[in-house]
Amino acid sequence: MKTKITKESRNLLIGMLLGDGTISNNNVFKIAHAESQKDYLEWKIKQLNNCGIRNNGIKSYIKTKGYNIGVPVYYTQLNIMPFIKVLRRVCYKSKKIIGNRKLLNRLSPKEIAIWYMDDGHINYRKTKGRVHGFYIKIATCLPKEELQIIIDYFKEVWNVSFYMFHEGKHQDSYSLCCGTKEGLKFIEIVKPYVLQIPSMIHKITYDLSQTFHFQLLLH
């Protein structure tokens, strides 16, 4: 039975590709997460099922190379040819996801939340050990030109000001960052979806109790 690809399902897959989703050389779409994020994988599968995208259920393996050797990894695979071929051609360049404004314009808050939960987190700003704010960081592997497209997108569409931060020795080792004021606006965009997954809630909570009253974004 052929899977019908709707705008909703297409955009969902794009959001997952911006994060941890991958398309292999033989055009299999894979989503994998550590055991501590198994509930997040289950949530993703539910979103896919709601869009009519079939998957092969949750499978697992033990990591034998890289970091966290010996840790269980849970994953699912989508085999929705020929659409995956199209998605790969549109979203990838030299085996890397691209920063394309046309793709970005298709993202809803749900897809942005997936992107953030996959690749983002909160860090604290400290001076002499005192917390005076936080910043949101989303890791990317994009060159400056494509990262600027994403920065312009967030400013023009969502009124959130990000900036790029270079880290590491690699030329394209840039991350998206925004400070406390802009971070609060960003959290409001993704919060309804992040709150659905217990293992992800820490990505929208912050403790500035050393300078402010404790704040927890669950209300």
* Domain total of the chain: 2
Same domain for 164 and 87? no
Domain membership of residue 216 (yes or no) is no
Q: Consecutive 10-residue runs of the chain (219 residues): their mean pLDDT?
A: 75 90 86 94 94 88 81 88 78 69 92 95 76 83 86 96 80 82 94 96 74 42
Query: Could you tell me if residue 21 is inside a domain?
Result: yes
Which range of residues forms the domain containing residue 11? 7-97
Q: Sign (positive/negative) of CA torsion 58, 12, 173, 203?
A: negative
pLDDT of residue 117: 96
Same domain membership, residue 195 and residue 159: yes
CATH value at residue 60: 3.10.28.10
Q: How far apart are CA 101 and CA 190, in angstroms?
A: 20
Q: Is residue 218 part of a domain?
A: no
| Cα→Cα distances 158→68, 186, 189, 198, Å | 36, 8, 8, 26
Kindly state whether residue 113 falls inside one of the protein's structural domains. Answer: no
Are 55 and 133 contained in the same domain? no
- Residue 109 inside a domain? The answer is no
105 assigned to some structural domain: no
Among 66, 97, 128, where does a domain finish? 97
**Two tokens, residue 126:** 């400290």
- Token output for 112: 């942005």
Q: Is residue 63 part of a domain?
A: yes
Distance, CA of 32 to CA of 135 (rounded, Å)? 26
- State the pTM of this model: 0.87
Question: What pLDDT, on a 0 to 100 scale, did the predictor assign at position 80?
Answer: 75
pLDDT value, residue 107: 94
